[in-house]
Structure 1
């Protein structure tokens, strides 16, 4: 009998009182034939893919990024991937944190495959939308992944991890700029 009383009391205390909760306002209905979220004239992030980056280009990009990270004293993991997101070249600077090895590769993969900076996904999540996470479980929604573009075509991506998102993005940008 004491157990039954305790159970009844806990249910009474833990159950929300729905009758006192105000009804949430209903959203306004969209106008007839309105496109979902607006329809842009062009595909965003629609740069075409080019031939995948080669090892010599990847070495040049990584060397520039590595030099900048060392100059600033930021121990980074730096990954360069091809258009498919497959690793072409990688460096782990002395003192770089170990979890950032895979994170740098995920950022680079995200940038190459999705043809946009990984920061775009960070901003989307920060705004309250987790939509992209339902499309790709490997997506990196954090600053520090930049597509590598040559002659207007995506040839790969660079990803950096080990610092703050802005530090990671700064090092990536130096690497990406070395391609030009």
Structure 2
């Protein structure tokens, strides 16, 4: 058998082996259809209108309720309250809170305010493999612990908490949001 015939005989097997080792298919495949982007709901699930920014008094009321809940559990938290555009209105950093928490709390609050939804929504999307949210805005936080603040059916700001687990942060935020109801 000539060397040319030997090479021709082994090329398909060699190509398949290389493809298997690289994790790609030996033949490029085009999907028959594009993956769903979540379907078309009848209306936006995040259509709460924006209202006038909350007052400093209301921001402090939410902040104090969240801080009291964190203290009750012994969870050192950073807590940020923003206006509807995500700008800081009130802030507290409890003793022994990790140094990264203040910026994370503010980013969670800003995400909740600007996108009109609980930051857990982004977390759930990432967990389900839908990482598109990372392409929307580089400051999006996909972690529980950011809640819109709603008064009179309108978003007046948001609260973000950081320092514990995502669920702990969310519980603290919920206490702050509930204080304004």
Fold shared by both chains (TM-score > 0.5): yes
Q: Who is 1:174 aligned against?
A: 175
Q: How does 1:26-175 map to 2 (within 5 A)?
A: 27-29=31-33, 37-175=38-176
Q: Which runs of 5+ in 1 are unaligned?
A: 1-15
Q: Which runs of 5+ in 2 are unaligned?
A: 1-16
Q: Deviations over 1:6-60 (max 9, x none)?
A: xxxxxxxxxx613895658754447xxxx86421111120100000111000010
Aligned residues: 161
- Which range moved further: 111-120 or 35-44? 35-44
State the TM-score, normalized to the length of structure 1: 0.83
- What stretches of structure 1 move > 6 A for 4+ residues in a row? none
**Cα distance in structure 2, aligned partners of 1:122 and 1:37:** 15
Q: RMSD of aligned C-alpha atoms?
A: 2.0
